[in-house]
Amino acid sequence: MQTSPQSSIDLHGVKKLRSGKVREVFDLGETLLFVVTDRISAFDVILPDPIPHKGAVLNQISAFWFKRFDEIRNHFVTATFAEFPK
C-alpha cells in the first residue's frame, strides 16, 4: 500500500489551535489532539519534501517513551486511534 506524505492535516469540524514545525494541535474540548505530520524541519526551517510515514514513526517513538516512564505524570492518553476519547 502506497500513501502520500502528510504535510498538512485538517479535521472537518475540529478547530486547529496550532500548526508547528512538524505537529498540528487540535481542540477536542476537554482534551487536545497532537498530530505528527511527515514534515521535516532542520534549523527551524520546514523543508519542502516530507518523508512518508515519518509522523507515524515519531508518534510511536513518543508513545514508547511515555509508556516506559508512565510513573512520571504527563499528557499522554493513547497513540491507538480506536482508544481515542469519544
Instruction: Give the pLDDT of residue 55.
Output: 87
Residue pair 33/25 in contact (Cβ under 8 Å)? The answer is yes
10-residue averages of pLDDT along the chain (86 residues): 74 90 89 87 87 88 91 82 72
Domains of the chain: 15-72 (3.30.200.20)
Instruction: Give the pLDDT of residue 44.
Output: 85
Instruction: Give the pLDDT of residue 26.
Output: 92
66 sits in which H/E element: helix 54-68
Tell me how far apart the alpha carbons of residues 2 and 56 are, in angstroms, rounded to a whole number: 14
Side chain identity, residue 32: L
Instruction: Give the pLDDT of residue 2.
Output: 57
Instruction: Give the pLDDT of residue 61.
Output: 92
Instruction: Give the pLDDT of residue 1.
Output: 54
